[in-house]
Amino acid sequence: MKGSIRERSPGHWAIILDQRDAATGQRKRKWHSFAGTKRQAQVECARLISELKGGNYLEPSKTTVAQFLDRWIDDIKARVSPRTHERYEEIAKKNIVPLIGGTVLSALRPAAISAAYTKALAEGRRDGSGGLSPRTVHHMHRILKQALSQAVRWEILSRNPADAVDPPKVEKKPMLTYGLPETVDVIEAMKGTDMFVPALLAVLCGMRRGEIAALRWRNVDLVAGQISVAESAEQTKAGVRYKVPKSGAGRTLALSGTVVDELKAHRVRQGEGLLKLGEKLTDASFVCAQADGSALKPRAITQAWVKLISGSEVIRRRFHDLRHAHATHLLQSGVHPKVASERLGHSNIGITLDLYSHVIPGMQEDAASRVDDAFKLAKSGRKNPIG
């Protein structure tokens, strides 16, 4: 078994693999196209010969990266949520395909992927206004790597070229949120608006936007002072669907007296408003709804928040930052991280500690002090080996 290379045009090579059929003894040739230097073509030729001898060789295919990604996007549809599927499809078709979509899948190399990321960072925006953020390119890498891993499992590729590529480093941005005095300002600014209750549930209960949009009165026990977070609203191009919360399980939240009182008043106002329209408030009604009682879309909450916060003197933050504010207030007040984690609906306490350890007062100092106390205790209990 041997191989050779032949230059077709500057920088483009034909790799020819010669072998004989074990049964007939007839000579067979396999052709591969390759773009690069002569040395790179020789290395690729040697690699293909090694795969052929090791039984890992895959016949060359004309399938392009774009064609494969279309197939992969269709395949994963049943295994991910509709919103995740939309996001994968959007990044694949609008960010990855314009850069390497025309490349034959079997000819895709780490160098081409790395060059694509560099180009995306410099000029990847579709409106031509500059490059994509490192975070977006990082998402591109994660999706491409996942797709190419499937190509390996389907035996379309013998190896994943994205494994040899490092995505750009994503700088962790400092978490911006509201302090207690600013939280009071937010609540006061929202009073009398449709955003008052959603903001209250986010900043005093730590509920997510989708959980607020899905909350029904049957999940609220104003006597016991509890909310059962059982569903979350997910908005997609096809509409809104209701699913289990992000962690995969529901949770029960204890309500403060302030939240209970405000929810009681809100229920009365909501019931009166529906009666004027000839409707009746029931346990199936949404807590945060439109004037006619119909469901409030998650994006509508964000849009209303942006509009109201822009017209007020309150510091501008994202609606999701109200949830961060709740977590920060809990931990700064000395609430155990495990309790905070359960209240926030994190799947494990590690997520909470990773996100908010910087706001837990005295954590580093307490750790150092505990180690020092243990050392002194152990030292005092030992005899002097010299004396």
Q: What is the pLDDT of residues 372-387, one digit of tens each?
A: 777 777 777 665 554 4
**Where does the pLDDT of residue 198 fall: very low under 50, low under 70, confident under 90, or very high at 90 and above?**
very high
Query: In whole angstroms, how far apart are CA 34 and each of 1, 15, 47, 118?
Result: 20, 7, 13, 22
Per cent of the chain over pLDDT 90 is 58
Least confident span in 39-48, 141-150, 256-265 = 39-48
| Structural domain range at position 134 | 65-164
Q: 242 and 152 in one domain? A: no
Q: Is residue 174 part of a domain?
A: no
Q: What is the CATH number of the domain that holds 294?
A: 1.10.443.10
Which is more confidently placed, 297 or 353?
297
Which is more confidently placed, 361 or 207?
207
User: What does the alpha-carbon distance between residue 286 and residue 219 come to, in Å, rounded to a whole number?
Assistant: 10
* DSSP-derived secondary structure letter, 264: H
Q: Which residues make Cβ contacts (< 8 Å) with residue 16, sequence separation at least 6?
A: 3, 4, 5, 6, 29, 30, 31, 32
Q: Is residue 60 part of a domain?
A: no
**What pLDDT, on the 0 to 100 scale, is given for residue 173?**
77
Q: What is the mean pLDDT of residues 78-91?
A: 93
**What pLDDT, on the 0 to 100 scale, is given for residue 142?**
96
Write down the pTM of the prediction.
Answer: 0.73
Q: 34 and 158 in one domain? A: no
Q: Is residue 25 part of a domain?
A: yes
Q: 236 and 202 in one domain? A: yes
**Where does the pLDDT of residue 326 fall: very low under 50, low under 70, confident under 90, or very high at 90 and above?**
very high
| Single-letter residue type at 176 | L
Q: Is residue 367 part of a domain?
A: no
**What pLDDT, on the 0 to 100 scale, is given for residue 352?**
84
Q: 69 and 50 in one domain? A: no
